[in-house]
Structure formats: C-alpha cells, structure tokens
Structure 1
Amino acid sequence: MSLVELLNKPIAELSSAELEQVMAHKRAEERKALDTAREAYQQDKEAYIGQLLDAFKEQAETLKKIKGIAINEGLALNNRIYEINGKTPKEDQKTFTIKNEDDTARVVIDRQERFEFTEEAQVHITAIKDLFKEKFEQRNKGFYALLDSILMRNSKGDYDAKLLTKARLQVRKIGDEALISEFDKLQDCMRVVGTSTYIRVYERDENKKWRDISLNFSSI
C-alpha cells in the first residue's frame, strides 16, 4: 500500500507497522517544517542585522560629517565676531555660544582636554582608598562607598580625571595632609593626550527653558 493510501486509511484500520510508517512520515514532515522555519528565521535575522548595520554606519558617517562642518563653521563665526570688534580670540578659549537673534536657539561648542594616567597612578589610588577606608568606613559606610566609587575605573578601564580633580579640591578643604599628599601625587600622574570638541544645539521649549536637541539614539 502506498503512503498516500495509508494516510487516507482510517487510523483504526492501520496495522502496527502501517501506523509506525504513518507516524514516521508525520515526524519527517514536522522536522521539515521546523527546518524551514529555522532557515527562514536565520535569513530574516541576517537581513535585519545587515540592514540595520548598514543604516547605522551610514547615519554615523553622515553625523560625523555634519559635526565637522558645524564645528568649523561655528569656529569661523566666532572668529568673525572678534574681528568685527577688532579683537583676537583667545587661543585657550574652550567654550563659546552662538545664539540666533530672537534667542530661541543656540549652539554651544566646547573643547575638552582628554587625560590619561601613568602606571604610577595605581599606587596613589590604592593609598588614597586605604586612607579613605581607615578614616571613613566605620563612621559612615555609605559615604565611604561613595568615596570609594570615585576612585574606581570606569567601563573603559580609565580613572575619571574630572571626579578625581573635584575630589582633590574637597580633600584640601578637609585639611588631611596624608590625603592631600597622595592626591597631589596622583594629579602629577595625569597626562593630557589630546582634545575633543563637542557641539550641542538647544532650543527654547514652551516654558522658555533651554532644551537639548540630542542625537543620542536612546533619547529619541
């Protein structure tokens, strides 16, 4: 009896061997359907990732070009207003703002130095953490945990130069000579490795407050 005939035969009339043959066919069909579904999923997944990757790369390149043009033109405008007033821009000028005439939009261009620490920094970081632990852990565990977190590396494996600089200023107010000494030594371990230029655009909202027009994907 052919398979087609078996499939059309009432199940109650099937022998054990015929039933096994029908079940084997059903299992094969299920496996084929599952394989087809997996293959379709795999194709769709690869297409999704590939298309999204290309789109993100294209937009990232576009934004990079926009940033470069915007910064260069902003710097040129900043130089022009100095020239109009018979002045020369300061070479160390790090931040400037350009606003429209009705004060509803502004552009802020900000240059920031990038820092890194020498290997010796770890010695002073460890000494500072030990001093903090000795002085504050028993008195206020929450405060100690906050101080300790300031001296930890960030997700990129770097120390946060800004936080350490702020902490150094606060330590001077405390007046602890041992801490001051270690923070001064840590400060000497910082090296300027370059600068980064940032540009931010703001507009006033319905409450006349400045609102950042963010290009961060997570904020859209």
Structure 2
Amino acid sequence: MNAKTPIADSVPEGFRQDAKGRLVPEDQIKEVDKLRDEFVLSIVDRACELRDELRDFKGDVFSEIEAFVETSAQEYDVQIGGKKGNVQLTSFDGQYKVIRAIQEHITFDERLQAAKGLIDECLKEWTADARPEIATIVQDAFRVDSAGNIRTGQVLGLRRLNIQDPRWLRAMDAIADAVQVTGSKSYVRVYKRDENGRYLPISLNIADV
C-alpha cells in the first residue's frame, strides 16, 4: 500500500508538494529534504502493510474461533445461535491461551435519574442512623469521570450490595432498565505462560514489542 495520497499522485513531474500545498520544483529542494521525505514515506508504507496484515489476522482469527466453537458444540448436538460472547481457548500443554473478548459500551438513559432519586431518599434516612459508609459508596458511584461521563462499572456495582429496602430494590430495577448498550468492540488476546505459571500477553502493540 503506497503512502502517497491522490493529491500527491497528481503533482506534475519534476515537482513536489510541500506542507502548505505549494508546488516546489525538485531542483529547488535540498537533497537532505528529499531523503527525509523518501525515508518517512518508506516507513509509512511498511506501517500500512503491517496494519493491513493485522486487520486480516484479526478477521481470520475471529472467523476461525467462531468455526471452532461451533465444531466443538456439535459434539453435544447443540446449535449455537445469537450473539457470540467471550471465549477462552488453551493449548493442550497449557503453555498458550487465546481469548476472544467482546467489550460492550454501556450508557444509561433518563431512568438513571429516577434510580438516583430513590437512592437519595434511602440515604437521607440511613445517614440519620449512622451508616455513612453506604453514603460514601453510593455518592462515589455517581461521580463522573474526567470526561464528564457516568462511570458505568461503579453504578452497576451498586446492584451487588445486599440491601433489601424496597426503595433500594426499585432503584436497582431502574438502573437495570436504564442500561443501554450503544456499541461493542471485539478483541483477540494471545498469552504465553512463563516459568512461574503466569500468562503473559504476546503483545501486538508496537509500543510494547
């Protein structure tokens, strides 16, 4: 995949286009600037090739994992349908592990405010009975992150608290109803076990290799 853009391809012979879009005659460009340009474009070309290979690798791995899961299920005469979830596959000797992970992006609709109102009613009563630790947990859950977004993990974590107050239970129902899945991202992670038995990732991130 060539790094040159269609605009660069349309530049007349004997010229190069600079960063401001101007056409500059080749004979007016310093040799070191030409070398730098060619060097950068060669790296970009190689990076684009690797990106395409990784994209193909990801697509192939997802297809092959899905096919393997279906083949494995046939042993039990089961037809797997619907949305595919996370899958962990381990080599026979336990040295390697492949994980297909699907991470959903979750937001809350307006019903989250109804849940917070019910929870606030509970807190007003409970704090009078010296239960500040619950108030701290709840108030922290509804704090927004640095981007101003509700932290979904903390809010959903409230449902794990063993509280039987009817208002609290209605609030947990409202939280469940408020959940909206707005998208998902799929990942493939590959691990190798070290001498201590820990699975360490085989990194496909250029910054980590």
- Tell me: CA distance 1:142–1:107, structure 2 relative to 1, closer, same or farther (3 Å): same
Alignment-derived partner of residue 197 in structure 1 = 186
Inter-partner Cα distance in structure 1 for 2:55 and 2:146: 24
* Alignment partner, residue 9 of structure 1: none
> Match of 1:205, as an amino acid?
D
Which runs of 5 or more structure 2 residues have no equivalent in the other structure? Answer: 1-32
Give the total of aligned pairs.
Answer: 170
Q: Does the 8 Å CA contact 2:118/2:167 hold for their aligned counterparts?
A: no
Deviation at 1:162, TM superposition (A): 3.7
In the alignment, the residues of structure 2 paired with residue 133 and residue 123 of structure 1 have an alpha-carbon distance, to the nearest angstrom, of 16
Unmatched 5+ stretches in structure 1: 1-42
| Corresponding residue of 2:126 | 135
Instruction: Please state if 1:182 is matched with 2:171.
Output: yes
The answer to whether the 8 A contact 2:98-2:190 is kept is: yes
**Distance apart, 1:79 and its partner CA:** 1.9
- Per the alignment, residue 199 of structure 2 pairs with 210
Match of 2:90 in 1: 99
Residue 145 of structure 2 aligns with an amino acid whose one-letter code is N
How far apart are 1:72 and its partner, in Å? 1.9
TM, length-normalised to structure 2: 0.60
Give the alignment's TM-score, normalised by structure 1. 0.57
| Shift, 1:212, TM fit | 2.9
Indicate the structure with greater helix content.
Answer: 1
DSSP 3-state at the match of 1:174: coil
Distance (whole Å) between structure 1 residues aligned to residue 91 and residue 85 of structure 2: 21
Distance in 1 (CA, whole Å) between partners of 2:134 and 2:163 is: 15
d(CA) in 2 for partners of 1:186 and 1:94? Answer: 23
CA contact (8 A) 2:118 2:171 kept: yes
Shift of 1:219: 5.7
Give me the CA root mean square deviation. 3.9
Percent of aligned pairs with the same amino acid: 21
- How many angstroms apart in 2 are the aligned matches of 1:202 and 1:196? 20
Flag the 1:180–1:198 CA change in 2: closer, same or farther, 3 A. Answer: same
Q: Which residue of 2 aligns with 1:165?
A: 156
The answer for the alignment partner of 1:74 in structure 2 is 65
